[in-house]
Chains A and B, each alone.
Chain A
Amino acid sequence: MTESLLSLVPKAEAKQSMKDFKSDQEVRWCPGCGDYAVLAAVQGFMPELGLAKENIVFVSGIGCSSRFPYYMNTYGMHSIHGRAPAIATGLASSRRDLSVWVVTGDGDALSIGGNHLIHALRRNVNLKILLFNNRIYGLTKGQYSPTSEVGKITKSTPMGSLDAPFNPVSLALGAEASFVARTVDSDRKHLTEVLRQAADHPGTALVEIYQNCNIFNDGAFEVLKDKEQAQEAVIRLEHGQPIRFGADGGKGVVRDPATGDLQVVPVTPANEASVLVHDARSASPTTAFALSRLADPDTLHHTPIGVFRSVVRPVYDTLMADQLDTAVEQNGKGDLAALLTGNDTWTVVG
């Protein structure tokens, strides 16, 4: 089981409400933007954590989503493009009494800031990273992003984009992430449940949030949101449950015995027992990775949402703090005069 590090963060003295987490700043995203829903979900979820709000910090990079900290009545920093995980790493590793959240987008996290993201994940710094993925550059007015589908026609790619996209969940799993989840902006209940698990996770939690940009990439996730289509398109992952979806759970995920890969099959009484049971806590990320590859990058059919992986491994900030304690145990608390003097001295007397 997970050992939450939330116990290091001071608790709120009084019961909080969503209102406590709204800043006095006017929210300035485009009307209809998916970011509003995520903001509301986060503000609505925060009181549940019951943390002193002065001990919560939101750090963001650059992009539409990165305006997020301005709207949270907590401490916050709107930093520079791609660098939020690095800045948050310094904050979290020096202040374990803080709950540190990173808000980023597909361009911020996966393009200019790709390096910082993967290294935060491998270190397992105690950060909660909310990656708003709208598969487009919004703030610069509509260029393709590193998660855009191949052939995307945008202002910078009038004949279609040429480069293959990243799958953020696959990337995070490959970068040794200990917690990886995916959710959707419009599904408040699911989003909140994922936030709940992420907040409780010791170490880096990466939450990919599919978010609609109604100006430059409207409807990008419609297939996952439209009730009828979603039934066939969305695979809801729940730890310990067989991975089934579709009308009446008529489809399931099974392992191909020949290749070891996963495939979607109609569930029959004959194969029902072989439907994969989701194990987010599996020591190996292999199956989680295979799940992340199920979705068709173009149609988004068979898109799993939920927690792909949630395992406990040493947290960087804890290890760093432990080393400081060990150093004091071994050498005593630092004595500046002794340090400056060193071992080889000579004395000049007047």
Chain B
Amino acid sequence: MTSQVSSPAEHADEADGAGEALVGGPRRPAGDKEVRRLDRVIIRFAGDSGDGMQLTGDRFTSETATFGNDLSTLPNFPAEIRAPAGTLPGVSSFQLHFADHDILTPGDAPNVLVAMNPAALKANIGDVPPGGEIIVNTDEFAKRAMAKVGYETSPLEDGSLEGYRVHPVPLTTLTIEALKDFGLPRKEAERSKNMFALGLLSWMYHRPTEGTERFLRQKFAKKPQIAEANVAAFRAGWNFGETTEDFAVSYEVAPATAAFPTGTYRNISGNLALSYGLIAASRQADLPLYLGSYPITPASDILHELSKHKNFGVRTFQAEDEIAGIGAALGAAFGGSLAVTTTSGPGVALKSETIGLAVSLELPLLVVDIQRGGPSTGLPTKTEQADLLQAMYGRNGEAPVPIVAPKTPADCFDAALEAARIALTYRTPVFLLSDGYLANGSEPWRIPDVDSLPDLRTQFATGPNHALADGTEVFWPFKRDPQTLARPWAVPGTPGLEHRIGGIEKQDGTGNISYDPANHDLMVRTRQAKVDGIEVPDLDVDDPDGARTLVLGWGSTYGPITAAVRRLRREGTPVAQAHLRHINPFPANLGEVLTGYDKIVVPEMNLGQLATLIRAKYLVDAHSYNQVNGMPFKAEQLAAALKEAIDD
């Protein structure tokens, strides 16, 4: 057997529900080479920042999605756009996990590493378990390139790769050879080597190829020669696999028919799903969408995406800074738009004062934070969950803001709709806390029926809402809905409701400036009560075995935690799992859930921020398990840690 046969640990517990996939059929290799069947594979493409590894990974992902496997991806790239070529900091990689069953993570360790140069090999070899397959571009293993990353002797020859199954392939030479009839300069021809590699991998795993060829012709529509050169390199890679002796076996990974309920699917990344969720929320609320934003990694893709959809009435404003981004959004909210600002942690820090103003004005506003490694500039392209307390408390005064956190890339769509519901219903800024892993990772998404999306329509104030003692009908901008405690949203242009609002404390009801001590106390408590009273669904607990330990997570750790929990249960260790989507307010039943277990373990990609909140609010001895290395948890490692905590 090969290393590519997976452990069953990540199999879905519910493996029935027989479905049949109608998918882009596999392209089967010709010839009589051996074909082996696998249930899952983890491939990592690694190369220089300029080698096009993200594109290669994206294409392989699209082929895989169309084919009908379940999948999960992990792009990993440096913050530098083009770090010095051939160096370790310049290595960019893309990991893809695909399977014939339901999977939850991009996988702990790659079964196959494609290393485009010595730096890529050196940076990634440590993650490949013994027996793993390594495809290396031997053309790049010149003495100087190896010396640059500290290889004194060639790892391809000195025995250091013993125990791995190494395929030395002169990818660059073969690509240039394949393109010799195109008359391209050598440098230009070389650039297609990633497509050669993609072709080879597509052969190895029987991926459909039409999509990639179509994609290349579209991408290079204005440069037909380049388009054809890339297609030729892609085909040459496929043919190389088919003919060369070195690749004796190819692999089948069947579609994950049982993993998917009936429906139409596509592959989607977190930032794309979040963008679509915002557009959908705008349609469901029947309000124009207004995005005020300043470019920042890893949130900029939302600005890019929304700016493409002006035909939905979407206004995108690239501001002069983070503060102006949220300022413009707040101005648009005052005018009756569904207003959004998108950013990452450093941007949230700059926006804090305006978020406080939005709390005081009680206007709907979505603050989307795609968290990255911090503090300060931190690790712009890596993931982290360390903005939770900033979102919760990072403002002057008592300034409660609801927090919603998506758990998977596709879930960013629903989370955006949910954040919009809260903002519009309760007239409040709302934090939507995604992160770099969700933003750039992708997974299959069952495309929702637009008629089934929630109704988010809200009422603007249209007339007086209060009678004075003398019977005069007046408009009071801070007279609240008794149920939700939301204040009326009276937009400019509404006759008779002219009013002034501001960041100075307001008198309850009239909204006039008030420095009255008792009124301030009332207003502070009322704003808190409004957020505390937001209706959110109860927390679901998954506990089939009556466990004594509960694993509680939030946000993007859902995949790894669930994978780890499945492993533990397969080994016979009972463990309960719950995942928070709403962090402010917490679900009403959370306290009860927590007291039902002897032990609470909270894995987070920070130093215990949710655990701090839980301990403070419910006085339970929540144990933190933390990792702050810029990467998502690995399921195996997490399972071991949970096991230790359970047995402790």
- Tell whether A and B belong to one assembly: yes
- Given the interface contacts A55-B493, A339-B279, A350-B262, does A332 sit within 8 Å of B66 by beta carbon? no
Checking B20, B336, B496 against A348 with a beta-carbon cut-off of 8 angstroms, the contacting residue is B20
- Given the interface contacts A83-B354, A95-B335, does A115 sit within 8 Å of B22 by beta carbon? no
- Chain A nearest CB, measured from B71 CB (Å): 12
Are the C-beta atoms of A115 and B311 separated by less than 8 Å? no
Are the C-beta atoms of A324 and B310 separated by less than 8 Å? yes
Are the C-beta atoms of A348 and B265 separated by less than 8 Å? yes
Are the C-beta atoms of B498 and A348 separated by less than 8 Å? no
Cβ contacts under 8 Å, B424 to chain A: none
Question: A247 near B: Cβ within 8 Å?
Answer: no
Checking A89, A95, A328, A332 against B328 with a beta-carbon cut-off of 8 angstroms, the contacting residue is A89
Question: A195 near B: Cβ within 8 Å?
Answer: no
- Given the interface contacts A52-B495, A78-B500, does A328 sit within 8 Å of B265 by beta carbon? no
- Chain A nearest CB, measured from B206 CB (Å): 16
- Given the interface contacts A69-B502, A90-B332, does A336 sit within 8 Å of B311 by beta carbon? no
Cβ contacts under 8 Å, A88 to chain B: 331
Surface stretch bound by A, among B107-115, B147-155, B316-324, B550-558: B316-324
Bound CA–CA A330/B321 (angstroms): 31
Size class of the B contact interface (CB-based, 8 Å): 35 or more
Are the C-beta atoms of B492 and A75 separated by less than 8 Å? yes
Are the C-beta atoms of B19 and A350 separated by less than 8 Å? yes
Are the C-beta atoms of A83 and B324 separated by less than 8 Å? yes
Question: B562 near A: Cβ within 8 Å?
Answer: no
Question: A170 near B: Cβ within 8 Å?
Answer: no
Are the C-beta atoms of B331 and A78 separated by less than 8 Å? no
Question: B596 near A: Cβ within 8 Å?
Answer: no
Question: A259 near B: Cβ within 8 Å?
Answer: no
- Given the interface contacts A54-B495, A336-B280, does A78 sit within 8 Å of B20 by beta carbon? no
Interface of chain B, helix or strand or loop or mixed?
A: mixed
Interface string of A59-95 (1 = CB under 8 A from B): 1000000000110111111111001001111111111
Question: A49 near B: Cβ within 8 Å?
Answer: no
Interface string of B496-511 (1 = CB under 8 A from A): 1111111110000000
Question: A342 near B: Cβ within 8 Å?
Answer: yes
Nearest CB in chain B to that of A55: its residue: B493
Cβ contacts under 8 Å, A95 to chain B: 335-336, 492-493
Are the C-beta atoms of A54 and B327 separated by less than 8 Å? no
Are the C-beta atoms of A80 and B22 separated by less than 8 Å? no
Nearest CB in chain B to that of A52: its residue: B495
Nearest CB in chain A to that of B500: its residue: A76
Are the C-beta atoms of B498 and A349 separated by less than 8 Å? no
Bound CA–CA A10/B492 (angstroms): 12
Question: B81 near A: Cβ within 8 Å?
Answer: no
Are the C-beta atoms of B499 and A75 separated by less than 8 Å? yes
Checking B22, B267, B335 against A347 with a beta-carbon cut-off of 8 angstroms, the contacting residue is B22
- Chain B nearest CB, measured from A236 CB (Å): 35
Are the C-beta atoms of A323 and B447 separated by less than 8 Å? no
Bound CA–CA A75/B329 (angstroms): 17
Cβ contacts under 8 Å, B312 to chain A: 333-334, 336, 339
Count chain B CB atoms within 10 A of each CB in A53, A90, A116 and give the residue with the most.
Answer: A90
Are the C-beta atoms of B311 and A327 separated by less than 8 Å? yes
Cβ contacts under 8 Å, B448 to chain A: 340
Question: B357 near A: Cβ within 8 Å?
Answer: yes
CB under 8 Å from chain B, chain A span 126-185 = none
17 sample A-B contacts, Cβ–Cβ < 8 Å, listed by A number: A70-B500, A70-B513, A75-B499, A89-B319, A89-B328, A90-B292, A90-B328, A90-B335, A91-B332, A116-B327, A323-B310, A336-B280, A340-B448, A340-B450, A344-B65, A346-B67, A347-B22
Q: Chain A interface (Cβ within 8 Å of chain B)?
A: 10, 23, 25, 52-57, 59, 69-70, 72-80, 83, 86-95, 97-98, 115-116, 119, 320, 323-324, 326-328, 330-334, 336-337, 339-342, 344-350
Q: Chain B interface (Cβ within 8 Å of chain A)?
A: 19-24, 62, 65-68, 211, 257, 260-267, 276, 279-280, 283, 288, 290, 292, 309-315, 317, 319-321, 323-324, 327-337, 339, 353-354, 356-357, 361, 447-448, 450, 492-504, 512-513
